[in-house]
Every structure is written in structure tokens, then in C-alpha cells.
Amino acid sequence: MNGTKLPDGGVLYDETEEDDDETPVAEPSQGPAASIDWNEGWKNDSGLKGADLIAEFVKHLPNAPGVYRMFNDAQDVLYVGKARSLKKRVGNYAQGRVHSNRIAKMVRETTHMEFVTTRTETEALLLEANLIKRLRPRFNVLLRDDKSFPYIMITGDHRAPAIFKHRGARARKGDYFGPFASAAAVGRTINSLQRAFLLRTCTDSVFETRTRPCLLFQIKRCSGPCTHEISDEGYAALVGEAKDFLSGKSQNVKSAIARQMAEASEDLDFERAAIYRDRLAALSHVQSHQGINPAGVEEADVFAIYNEGGLFCIQVFFFRTGQNWGNRAYFPKADPQLSGAEVLNAFLAQFYDDKPVPKQILLSETVEEQDLLALAFCEKAGHKVTISVPQRGEKKDLTDHVLANAREAHGRRLAETSSQARLLQGLAETFGLPFVPRRIEIYDNSHIMGTNAVGGMVVAGPEGFVKSQYRKFNIKSTEITPGDDFGMMREVMTRRFSRLLKEEGIPDRTAAAGASAEDAADAAFPAWPDVILIDGGQGQMTAVRAILDELGIRDLVTAIGVAKGVDRDAGRERFFADGRSDFSLPPRDPVLYFIQRMRDEAHRFAIGSHRARRKKEMVKNPLDEISGIGPGRKRKLLQHFGTAKAVSRAGLTDLMAVEGISEAVAKQIYNHFHENRAG
């Protein structure tokens, strides 16, 4: 369990653990899980709640900066806030003045509070952002970001550093440059950097086994450090130039290459001059294919917010080394009564909780805690960070351009969510559901003759597919006959709903049915599905209903089977649901298209998961199964014998002839492949 020290002496712990039974497949941005020594200040033994409870807490609070959490009866975190003075800030809730309906509701539901003090308000701001991203309290502004950003990595643990696309934890030693808005932008940039700096992109294992240069060397995309076509010193110089270019010194690098090209021309070394010319062209290609490239913005993130109809859209553009590294739109969950500046203020702290902070941040409008945010980001980044709202000139034109993009993205999302709401309403009417579903789970299986079988679950909601909720189930039962789709579905359903019952308990369907549209919008995305769609006919539905009956939840979840129509034609599907005969929908019914789209997404996801598992099995090496055979010994064995199959056929004497293989290890390897002759 990894811990991070907090300003107050508490520790932030990462308590996540891997579970093979139900594997999350998306990579939402997650901060560390908090396990902090929260000070409760005053024990609530009086049964007080709401403003009266908060007033009692205030009596015991210090006039110091810190973070507070508000809880309801079920011990769910309602709100996380920070304060320069805990006593004054929390005291405002007890007074009941100038509260919006949303805040008034939050205060009424509060039955408990916890506090942690910090040395400064900036430390409180950073801790608050971390906790909001992890706990996702109902009444906070929430950054909904389920996808991590890609980076360019230049490795730092090899004599010949390589350049790669990287996403996720920065576990490997090296230099990381980004963020880029998309993997495609990273790919394009790396391709151009290969031509400009001739850095290798092969893995270390491939590098070590090369005896002659690969094709990339022949087409002038790599300098060939694997076979010493370039000296280690010369390659290190190329690596240094690449790092300088990606670190914001692009003009210096281009000037140096131009100078070298001129010198080569003066020496009449036109072949070398042509190499420098091609490298300059590649660098120009990087900068000329990035959309807008403002000359006065070397390193900055530009944010603009647009709000209409209760929907907030924040557009962010990334600029590094004078290049546009892409943009992304966010739609944070926030109280519609908040202003754009208030939402943007809360968004910024969460956004940079797990991302590097640039030297400059440009905003479309002034936020209340602008100076505090700049100070906090300076402490976090270790360099000066300025936050400004341009009023004129090139930077003002840039923020206006980002705002226009935010307005366009807002319009597209509004149209999509409106359409999604109508489709969910139509689904409820078509299948006679008691309320409009907020969570739909769609299941499908994929395998080849029963091998590497995988069950896939995708999730749809009011805003479309929720990829952070997708799950894959590796079919584990040895009692299932290979290719038995009914048996696979039984295993998936049993594992899914047994775990759901254990972790979430029985859902309150009466509350869901009576909830207003406003309450439904405020509520967190539910863990329990309202509807499950099964890719299959009556046989699949019989297996599913048997599991739901066995678990006692058949009345809590509406199960619908979708069978392919005659000749498996799309548009002629048959639907199977409780209490009615199977039926079809009109060929041009929007609900039919909606169901087809969900089924196709489940099919795509299940096939992708199956292929990934099959690929993993195909490249699995039998030597990996032998205890004590690590990467070093495995490499020596393969270099000596050529293949794992040849190792399996080798005798004891042959095995002992390999460097690093003792008699004991040789016997262990031999016995692994010759079980009947062991001993």
C-alpha cells in the first residue's frame, strides 16, 4: 500500500486491488484513495442533523485552513470543501442565509461531518481537489474524465534511449512530454520526430537481438544505434536535441540544424547537408500540421467555458513548444445555478490533480480564486505558473477561438443528450417499464470453439455509452462444455449480480420510480441496472431468468432478449421479455435502431476482449510457467536453443551447458517438461 504524506501529517493511501472476476476495462483518471486521520471535532450523539448539527460542529472548529466532508444517513459523502478558516466557512452553512436550493438540500441531508487541518489554504485546495476526484460527492462540481491523456516518453534507463507513446503511471525512468489530446496526435508527432532526430522506436528486447540494421534505418527513420551505425555519443546528441525540441527550445534546435546544414554545404558535403535538410523539413512538418500555432504562446493550456440550458462545456487546448498538441471538451457535472466562473474555478484544481502544469494558463473569464490557484500550481509544479484572462492581442484571439470551440461542442452534446433522453423514454414505453431507465447493461459472449471465452458487459445511460463502467469476464468454469453459450451466460450473470448484491445491496426501486427529473439528474450514476439486454433468444433468456430467480432479484431488473431475425438480418430482430409473447418492432422504429446500436457495441467489446485474451495466450512462453526462470535465464535459454520447444526437448547435459543454468535449475527445467520421468 503506497502512501503520500499530507501537510497535516496524515497519509493518503492507494487501496485499489486487482480482481480477476470482474475486470474494469476503462482507465478513468483516479487519484489515490484517502485514509486520513479525520478529526470529527464533536461527536454527534444528540441525533441532530442539518443546520443544527453544523452549528454544534462550528463550536469545536479552529480558525485555521483545512478541508471538510459532509455525510448523509447512509454515510455517503455529500460534499467536500476547503476553507481558509474552517470555523467561518462551515459556520455559513449553519446560518441558512443566501443558500441555493441545492445547497439548502445538502445542509438538510447532513448528519455528520469530518475535518482535517492544513498549514496553508493552497495545501487545502490541492487536498480538496484530490478528494473530490476520488470520492465524487453528489453536491460538488465534478470533472467527468474517464480517459487518461497520452504522452511522449523518451526512456532514460538504456544506453540508447527510445521514443514511445505512453499512457498511465510513469513507472519507467525517462522524460515525459505532454499531454496530447489524442493518441493520433502522439502518433503523428512521433513519426515526424523519428525523421527529425532518428531515434529508435523498437523495444529493448528487439534492440538487444539485432545483428544488422532494420528497415527503419534503411528508410532514414532511425540512426541504427543497435548495431553501432552511429556512436553512442552521436546518438546521445540526437536524444538531447529531441528533448530540447519537446521542452520548448524548438527554435534553438532548428537554428543549430540549419547552421550544420550550411556548414556541410560550405564543405561541399552535400549528402550530409541533405540529411540536415530532411531533418529541418520534418521539424517544420510537426509545427505546420498542428492547426493554430500562435507565435506568442510557447507553453500554455487555454480554457474556455460555455453554459446554456443547464449544461456546462469546458474546452481546453494544449500548446507546447509553440505547437498545438490538440484539444478536448469536458462536460462537468455542476449545479445549473452556478456561474461559469464558479464551475471553471472548481474544474481547474481537479484537472491538474494528476497532470503536469504548464508555465502559462489562459482563461476565457476571471475566476474567484485565480491567485490562490496560481500559488498552488507553483508549489505543485516547482516552477512559476501564471493564470490570466487575455484582454487584447493574439492571446485574446486564441481564447476567443477556444470559446467558439466550446460553444460548438456544447451544441453537439445538447443535441445528443436530448436525442438520448427521447430514446430512453421510447424504450420505456415500448417495453412497458415503470420508469425511464438510467442504466442499461448489455451482455454478449465471444469465443472460438469454446477457447479463450470472454463475456462482455457494456453500459448505456442518459448521456450515451459509459465506458468507465464496461466490464469483461474471463470464463473460468471447467464444468462448461466448450461452446456452451447458455453456460457462459449463466456464469457471467451469477458473478455479476452476486457481486452487486454483496457490494451494493438491494436497490430501492420505489424511490427510483417516484424520483423527479431534477432528482434523477442530481443523483449519482446507479450501480444497479434498470434493464439488461441479452444478445440471444428464448434459450439465453431462460438461463438468465433462472439466475435472477435463484438470487431473488427477478423483480428488480427487467431482462430483455434480442434474437437475430430471419436470415440474421438487422431490422428483423425478435424481442423476448417477461409477461408477453416475443415480438418485433417496425423496421424504421428509432427504438429498434437504439437497441441495435447497443447490441453492436456489446458485440464489438466482447470480440475485442476475446482477441486480446487469445493474443496473450498465443504469445505466452512455456518457460514463463517455470518457477525461478526469470527474464535473464529465459533470454539465455532462447539464445542458446532458439525456441522454447527446443528447450523442452533438451537433455540435462545440454541445459547445464547454458550460461547461468546450474544443475539444480537444469533439473527443474527438465522435470517441468518431462513430468513422467521426474524424480
Instruction: State whether 378 and 327 are in the same domain.
Output: yes
Q: Using the 3D structure, point to which of 566, 593, 617 is the last residue of a domain.
A: 617
Q: How sure is the predictor about 128, in pLDDT bands with cuts at 50, 70 and 90?
A: very high
Model confidence pLDDT, tens digit, residues 656-667: 888 888 888 888
In CATH, what number is assigned to the domain containing residue 106? Answer: 3.40.1440.10
Q: Among 64-78, 305-319, 483-497, which is the least confidently predicted range?
A: 483-497
Instruction: State whether 471 and 346 are in the same domain.
Output: no
- Domain with 194, as residue range(s), is 151-288
Mean pLDDT of all residues in the chain? 81
Domain-located, residue 426 = no
Q: 330 pLDDT exceeds 70?
A: yes
Residue type present at position 620: K
The three cell numbers of residue 11 are 497519509
Instruction: State whether 64 and 127 are in the same domain.
Output: yes
**pLDDT > 90 fraction of the chain, expressed in percent and rounded:** 22
Domain-located, residue 657 = yes
Distance CA 475, CA 481 (A): 11
| Residue predicted with more confidence, 82 or 27 | 82
The pLDDT value recorded for residue 14 is 33
Instruction: State whether 548 and 488 are in the same domain.
Output: yes
The pLDDT value recorded for residue 664 is 85
* Nearest partner of 341 among 320, 370, 301, judged by Cα: 370
Q: Among 6-15, 451-460, 545-554, 669-678, which is the least confidently predicted range?
A: 6-15
The pLDDT value recorded for residue 583 is 87
* Nearest partner of 487 among 574, 549, 547, 415, judged by Cα: 547
Model confidence pLDDT, tens digit, residues 479-529: 767 767 788 888 888 999 999 998 888 887 666 555 555 555 556 788 999
Q: 287 pLDDT exceeds 60?
A: no
pTM across the whole model: 0.67
The pLDDT value recorded for residue 560 is 92
Write b or e for each residue in 526-536: b if 16 or more Cβ atoms lie within 10 A of its Cβ, otherwise e.
eebbbbbbbbb
* Nearest partner of 12 among 24, 27, 1, judged by Cα: 1
Distance CA 104, CA 97 (A): 9
In CATH, what number is assigned to the domain containing residue 608? Answer: 3.30.420.340
Which range among 82-91, 93-102, 279-288, 516-525 has the greatest average pLDDT? Answer: 82-91
Q: 349 pLDDT exceeds 70?
A: yes
Domain-located, residue 145 = no
For residues 361-377, average pLDDT: 93
Domain-located, residue 583 = yes
Q: 306 pLDDT exceeds 90?
A: yes
The pLDDT value recorded for residue 440 is 94
Q: What is the H or E stretch that residue 273 is in?
A: helix 270-288
Q: Is the Cβ–Cβ distance between 164 and 135 less than 8 Å?
A: no
Q: Among 304-318, 370-384, 407-421, 616-630, which is the least confidently predicted range?
A: 616-630
In CATH, what number is assigned to the domain containing residue 632? Answer: 1.10.150.20
Q: Is the Cβ–Cβ distance between 462 and 438 less than 8 Å?
A: yes
Instruction: State whether 385 and 482 are in the same domain.
Output: no
Instruction: State whether 476 and 571 are in the same domain.
Output: yes
The pLDDT value recorded for residue 17 is 33
The pLDDT value recorded for residue 521 is 58
Instruction: State whether 177 and 130 are in the same domain.
Output: no
Q: 676 pLDDT exceeds 60?
A: no
Instruction: State whether 463 and 408 are in the same domain.
Output: no
Instruction: State whether 67 and 202 are in the same domain.
Output: no
Q: 127 pLDDT exceeds 70?
A: yes
Model confidence pLDDT, tens digit, residues 98-126: 567 888 889 989 998 999 999 899 999 99
* Nearest partner of 86 among 43, 110, 57, 107, judged by Cα: 57
Q: 227 pLDDT exceeds 60?
A: yes
Q: How sure is the predictor about 292, in pLDDT bands with cuts at 50, 70 and 90?
A: low
Instruction: State whether 632 and 586 are in the same domain.
Output: no
Q: Where are the alpha helices (DSSP H) in 289-355?
A: 340-351
Domain-located, residue 121 = yes
Q: 337 pLDDT exceeds 80?
A: yes
Domain-located, residue 564 = yes
Model confidence pLDDT, tens digit, residues 436-470: 999 999 998 886 665 678 889 999 998 889 888 99
Domain-located, residue 189 = yes
Task: Please work out, in degrees rounded to the nearest 5, the angle formed at the alpha carbon of residue 453 by the alpha carbons of 470 and 574.
Answer: 70
- The total number of structural domains that make up the chain: 5
Instruction: State whether 184 and 98 are in the same domain.
Output: no
Q: 389 pLDDT exceeds 60?
A: yes
Residue type present at position 79: Y
**pLDDT > 70 fraction of the chain, expressed in percent and rounded:** 82
Q: How sure is the predictor about 75, in pLDDT bands with cuts at 50, 70 and 90?
A: confident
Q: What share of the chain is helix, strand, coil (3-state, %, to 5)?
A: 45, 20, 35
DSSP-derived letter for residue 481 is P
Q: Using the 3D structure, point to which of 353, 381, 412 is the last residue of a domain.
A: 412
For residues 389-404, average pLDDT: 91
For residues 201-211, average pLDDT: 87
The pLDDT value recorded for residue 445 is 83
Instruction: State whether 304 and 368 are in the same domain.
Output: yes
Domain-located, residue 308 = yes
The pLDDT value recorded for residue 361 is 94
In CATH, what number is assigned to the domain containing residue 392? Answer: 3.30.420.10
For residues 18-25, average pLDDT: 42
* Nearest partner of 124 among 81, 87, 62, judged by Cα: 81
Q: Using the 3D structure, point to which of 591, 617, 643 is the last residue of a domain.
A: 617
| Residue predicted with more confidence, 24 or 83 | 83
Classify 646 as helix, strand or coil.
helix
